[in-house]
Structure 1
Amino acid sequence: MDPLKLPFDADDMLSGLRPWIECESPTHDAAAVDRMMDLAAHDLAQMAEIERIPGRMGFGGSLRARFPHPRQGAPGILILGHMDTVHPVGTLSKLPFRREGDICFGPGIMDMKGGNYAAVEALRQLQRAGLETPLPVTVLFTPDEEVGTPSTRELIEAEAARHKYVLVPEPARDDGGAVIGRYAIARFNLIAEGQPSHAGARLSEGRSAIAMMARKLLEIEAMTGEDCTFSVGVIRGGEWVNCVSSLCKAEALSMAKTQEDLDRGVARMMALAGDENGVEFRITRGVTRPVWAPDQSGTMAMYDIAKDIARDLGFDLTAGSAGGGSDGNFTGAMGIPTLDSLGVRGKGLHTLTEHIEVASLAERGRLLAALMMRLGGQG
């Protein structure tokens, strides 16, 4: 049977996806992420051998599913996705799962539970039709991508090294295209430590950590240029309004198109550390995503196959490098052919308007199913 003619039904897929969306799974809530992994494990257990990998560093666990295949254990296809989201528990009260015509809203529905579900449905449809992929398939779902993958990078790289191809169903680009390279990303932890005093009676005796951090944040964001961007996304400081703050913490992120640009940006950031007027400003490196350069022949060959499939499905699959990291950074940087952003179409990821185009569930399911049937096969 032609995989492009498999009976994908977007409405049925949306019904199956709904429990995943209504199981909120913010990265820093390990128990919530594990509950999401339970749901995915239940869906996958009907088709594959399931392995639950315990979490570490305070994060939830991972889920690995190996599908039956005559060549089980041989290098095959890895489908790589994350089940954590940026949305805290309780977001459903502000962003409930709801359908409005051709679009559907919900926390994490675009990034990236929709794409993950499309991949699972693709495997389900192939199995129901009795279609055997030329290469064995493994699915790996992880819990910490939204914070840079500190606890599972080694797991991802070890698993990817066993495979010939990696498919990442992160959200599609704005035009529906795929990603064949990603920029480098570095994270930083910032700490300002000052001297407390009573803000009313002894204001002049204090040295405000918050004031120092505010000045540094302006410096950091002013460093943004064409070669390297800088942004501060988290800040915490002070405990009492009537006390000069002695501690303020923040988190910053830098992104660059080349490793050389990122290295220069990191050096500029680290040079901001020091003491000023009795306040110490410290910077430590957080996790880093390496550059995945868009020049790998294996990736481009895989993209050519996907582009042909998309043409048969009635759309043009463009490709390019992208900002914003994914776990594809790691596998692509390893030199493993990787095709990213094969997931659903939508808008508003990481916001309270996050939504998908419902029809793209079936579109991406067909694309992924056909791609798995073509990789490692003839023609």
Structure 2
Amino acid sequence: MAEPISTRAIVCRKPIGDGEGWQMETVRLREIEDDELVVRIVASGICHTDVTFGSLTVGTPFTHYPSVKGHEGSGYVERVGPKVTVAQPGDPVLLSYAFCETCAICKAGHPAHCVVSTPMNFLGYDAFFSEDNASETPDLRGGFFSQSSFANWTIVKQHSVVNVKGTVSDADLRVLAPLGCGIQTGSASIVHLTRPGPNDSVLVLGLGGVGLSAIMGAKLQGCTTIIGVDRLDSRLRVARELGATHTIDTSNMDNLDELVKQVQALTDGYGAAVTIEATGAMAIIRKGLAMTRFAGKYVQVGVAPFGEELSFEVFPHMTSGRHIIGTVEGDATPSEFVPKMVAWFKGGRFPVDKLVRLYRAEEWHEAVRDMELGKTVKAVITW
């Protein structure tokens, strides 16, 4: 039996807004299973999904207390189970989402839409012992997206591991930690899922990490009309730096019909060939189709509040030929898409560093606050 590993972790014992709901604690790892690795985490992006699922009321489906969140991790492999083939101790890795590998959807090349994706990613598995737990049973849930990267050392399932040996430096691992979720979602929704050409217009609604990554994806595709929409001037400015040809500030709009008019004016009255909705705000979502041209593609990546519904009249929708697509992770397979993003970054074509701000792990509360206030696009905590 290997010597137990003690580590620091941000433990989510209650919703984040509930006083001391999240706290840095010392915890221990359980023994790894045959298909698992121990990864020493170097950095982890903070995603709104971490905060969302760490803010839900006790008893809400697919949430668990106490647990360790984090799902945009990077680091080095320290131990491997006997059935692990993806990496060896010492290899640098980037971590992504969980999927079963065996269902018909995974086998068809769509692991992001695995039939058991939701429980695998959001419920995870018991992986940590609290410091005062002397029993043989872990009492802290890990395995958030099969990684729980808000810990200096963590247990990861091998399907969530992308080996980047020989392609990245230690400094790169800090900047590239978010590739496995938010940045993959935005860029793959363009480059992999919808694949617009140079003559296609792209509209991105919401310029957080996902939306700005979609802007970078559209630039990679050579699109000549790339429209970014947000209410924060700082993010509109970054969008222009990343390749947006037009930006629209909604901060002073009293009526979103004005937004529809401005988008149509920038697209010869037709609307965008591809619309990426990354806000999750129902008021914006309900206007999304009106900003998308006939035979265009409307892609929902922003997470709307649970229980919300979208309706439309069937016959006009049918005659419009518009495609409505829901996606997570841009339908990308991490082992294929993450190396592409690394290569684009190393080649100077995918400036992820313009989105990232680094914080020490102990500053996680400041990092969360800065993201919520719009002071930073993608906060990354480092260990």
Question: Is the TM value for this pair above 0.5?
Answer: no
Q: Give the TM-score taking structure 1 as reference length.
A: 0.24
Bigger radius of gyration among the two: 1
Q: Give the TM-score taking structure 2 as reference length.
A: 0.24
Higher relative contact order (CA 8 A, sep 6+): 1
